[in-house]
Amino acid sequence: MTEIGHPFRDPGLLAQALTHRSAGAPHNERLEFLGDSLVNLIIAEALYQRWPQVDEGALTRARAELVRESGLAPIARDLDLGSRLTLGPGEMKSGGHRRDSILADALEALVAAIYLDAGFEACRAAVLPWFEPAMAALPPPHKVGKDAKTRLQEWLQGRQKPLPVYALLSESGEEHAKTFQVSCTLTEPHVVTEGQGGSRRAAEQTAAEAALAALEALREARAG
């Protein structure tokens, strides 16, 4: 498992980090508890150094953006943790190795395993490169933490326009892996977009992002 950037002296720690509780003990829940705090510390320190003039609020929002489940799961996929997880039969059948929550927990457990295996300096050296692309992609500090729905609402309120209306169009798939299709309708200007996601909230965010893009296209068209 060379992708993680750390050769384990104690392979048992690595095995435990990648063992879900559905597979029995020893599993990774205690490691996950420790890893959560380590990830928060490592990212907080990195942001503190990267943005020396930024206030606490923006730093807190940026950290939350990076360490939430939807930020950790893609890193776990980049490290191919899903294929290495040890799961119980039920989780294997339901596709647990693809689920964001299980992948994010495994990533946090892996961070703790590295820390216990080699100490904080080695842990930080291994973990920071995993987050580097996401940190580089963060928006300017004053915009961090504002999701698409919030930005769309602020855009409309700032121009005294009616707020968007979101509607669920459809949901499909198995109970553990549903897909939601949602519309976002603006009346002034008239814009209708759609979004898809693994939850209604995620689908609404996608639809709001599309609405913001449509508003920007309208603005550019009028300016041209």
Centroid of chain to Cα 196: 16
Question: Each residue of 155-177: pLDDT tens digit?
Answer: 899 899 999 999 999 998 877 67
pLDDT of 105 reads 94
Q: Which domain holds residue 68?
A: 2-140
pLDDT of 143 reads 66
Do 160 and 127 share a structural domain?
no
Do 136 and 215 share a structural domain?
no
Q: Which residues are annotated as a binding site for Mg(2+)?
A: 32, 105, 108
Mark residue 47 as left, alpha or beta (left: phi above 0; alpha: psi -120 to 50; beta: remaining): alpha
Q: Are 175 and 161 in contact (CB under 8 A)?
A: no
pLDDT of 64 reads 87
Domain count, the chain: 2
The one catalytic residue among 36, 91, 204, 209 = 36
Last-in-domain residue among 105, 140, 175: 140
- Specify whether 117 is catalytic: no
The model's pTM is 0.67
Spatial distance between the Cα atoms of 116 and 118, rounded to a whole number of angstroms: 6
Q: Residue ranges of the chain with pLDDT lower than 70?
A: 1-2, 142-145, 176, 224
Residues 6+ apart with CB under 8 A from 125: 5
pLDDT of 2 reads 41
- Specify whether 171 is catalytic: no
